[in-house]
Amino acid sequence: MPAGRMVFMVAQTPKKPVIPASRPSVAGDDAVVLERRAQRVRPPQMYQVVLLNDDFTPMEFVVQIIQEFFGKDRETATQIMLKIHLEGKGVCGVYTRDVAITKVDQVLQASRHAGHPLQCTTEPIE
Ligand code: TYC
């Protein structure tokens, strides 16, 4: 190998993305044309993170959780907490799947660490 040159070996050559053909269209006489059309990307499935009411977790703790992990100001966090308290559950934020799962983990860990039974779940929307 010539000095100063590096050779990299890879296990697989990169694959070209598969672009599906559109439905065949007839272009006069007997000719059939298969047009290549780029695959349209879709926005990711979104997930809402929901807090559930219970009889033991202090209101102030819930407000702090909503502020800390869902980036709400104190007033908004208080409104969400009261909605949960009165209606049984409430949405604290909407995220992509991995972020939503991480939020649930963080809330549950902080709550258990503080000795509270607060429950938090996530569910796909639409
Ligand atoms: N119900 C609780 C109380 O009266 C307050 C509370 C609100 C608990 C929201 C959980 O997700 C919750 N102390």
Q: Is residue 58 lining ligand 1, measured as CB closer than 6 Å?
A: yes
CA dihedral (81, 83, 89, 91) positive or negative: negative
Percent of the chain past pLDDT 90, that is, above it, reads: 67
Q: Which atom of ligand 1 is nearest to the CA of 85?
A: 7
CA of 115 to the centre of ligand 1 (A): 14
pLDDT at 23 over 70: no
0.85 exceeded by pTM: no
- Which residue has the least CA distance to atom 5 on ligand 1? 59
Q: How many residues does the chain have?
A: 126
Give the per-residue SS3 of the chain.
CCCCCCCCCCCCCCCCCCCCECCCEECCCCCEECCECCCCCCCCCEEEEEEECCCCCCHHHHHHHHHHHHCCCHHHHHHHHHHHHHHCEEEEEEEEHHHHHHHHHHHHHHHHHCCCCCEEEEEECC
- Domains along the chain with CATH numbers: 46-124 (3.30.1390.10)
Question: Tens of pLDDT along 63-95?
Answer: 999 999 999 999 999 999 999 999 999 999 999
- Which residue has the least CA distance to atom 2 on ligand 1? 55
Confidence band for 36, pLDDT divided at 50, 70 and 90: confident
Q: Is residue 84 lining ligand 1, measured as CB closer than 6 Å?
A: yes
